[in-house]
Structure 1
Amino acid sequence: MTIRKAEEKDILRIIELLGQVLQIHADIRPDIFIPGTTKYTVSQLTELLGKEEKPIYVAVNEEDVCVGYAFCQLQEQPFSTNMVPFKSLFIDDLCVDQHARGQHIGESLFEYVKNEAKRMGCYEVTLNVWAGNTSAEKFYEKMGMKTKERQMEYILEH
């Protein structure tokens, strides 16, 4: 397995994996997520590939087929005047093909992202996990991540 920056030839495979992630989220929150959709379209992915501040890394097998990805965003802190300035690499989405899980691909992708964050001079790597996605929470805790903040909601009756 190799990890590299995503290329246009990876887009259709990334779309398939985005569908797998969406289904996980739709199962957890059917009130928010629409089954059978994806977070990005082909044209949006093509545009994203050119953005240095939003790198997409892919794990590929021996046939150079994408088996996992990590969408990242370089963020400059502070968001307010009461914070020390620093850079952060936010993992917007990380996925391993459901048929390739258990092969440490997610761990390799996460380690790769951590190394890229260090190379970019980042202070931290962050991400969000939906409540109810316990397998993701356990995975990230195993990778050494700790809860930084919690976002809470109150759903209004309609």
Structure 2
Amino acid sequence: MNIRRASENDIDSLIKLLQEVLEIHANIRPDIFISGTTKYTREELLQKIANDEEPIYVAVNENDDVMGYAFCALRNQPFSTNMVPFKSLYIDDLCVDSNYRGQHIGEQLFEYVKAEAKRLGCYEITLAVWAGNDGAEKFYEKIGMKTKERIMEYIL
């Protein structure tokens, strides 16, 4: 397995995996997510692939088939003047193709992202998990992530 930055040749695979993730979210929160859609269009993916501030990393096999991805975004903290300034790497989306799960690809992707975050001078890596996505939450806890804050809602 190799992990590298995504390229234009990976877009069809990225869209397929984005659809997998969307369906998980649509099953959890059909009031928010629209089944049959994806988070990003082909054009948006082209822009992201070219943007060093929003790197997309892919795990590929010996045939260069995408087995998983990590969509990331560099963020500067703080959100207010009462916080220490630092750089953060936000994982916007992480997915392993359902055909390749159980092979530690997600863990290896996370290790790669950690190394990249360190190389880029980041203080932390953050991500958000939707309530109800228990498998993802358990995976992130297993690889050492801890809850930093919670976003709560009251539906009107």
% identical aligned pairs: 72
How far is the alpha carbon of 1:50 from its aligned partner?
Answer: 1.1
Cα distance in structure 1, aligned partners of 2:43 and 2:73: 18
Q: CA RMSD in A?
A: 0.5
Q: Deviations over 1:97-122 (max 9, x none)?
A: 01110000000001100110000010
For structure 1, which runs of at least 5 residues remain unmatched after alignment?
none
SS of structure 1 residue aligned to 2:125: strand
Cα distance in structure 2, aligned partners of 1:25 and 1:129: 10
1:9 maps to which residue?
A: 9
SS of structure 2 residue aligned to 1:147: coil
1:155 maps to which residue?
A: 155
TM-score, normalised relative to structure 1: 0.98
The answer to whether 1:92 aligns with 2:92 is yes
2:119 maps to which residue?
A: 119
**Aligned AA for 1:66?**
V
TM-score, normalised relative to structure 2: 0.99
1:83 maps to which residue?
A: 83
SS of structure 2 residue aligned to 1:99: helix
**Aligned AA for 1:35?**
S
How far is the alpha carbon of 1:79 from its aligned partner?
Answer: 1.1
2:19 maps to which residue?
A: 19
2:33 maps to which residue?
A: 33
**Aligned AA for 1:29?**
R
The answer to whether 1:60 aligns with 2:60 is yes
**Aligned AA for 2:145?**
M
1:138 maps to which residue?
A: 138
Cα distance in structure 2, aligned partners of 1:146 and 1:47: 31
Q: What count of residue pairs does the alignment treat as equivalent? A: 156
Q: Which runs of 4+ in 1 moved over 2 A?
A: none
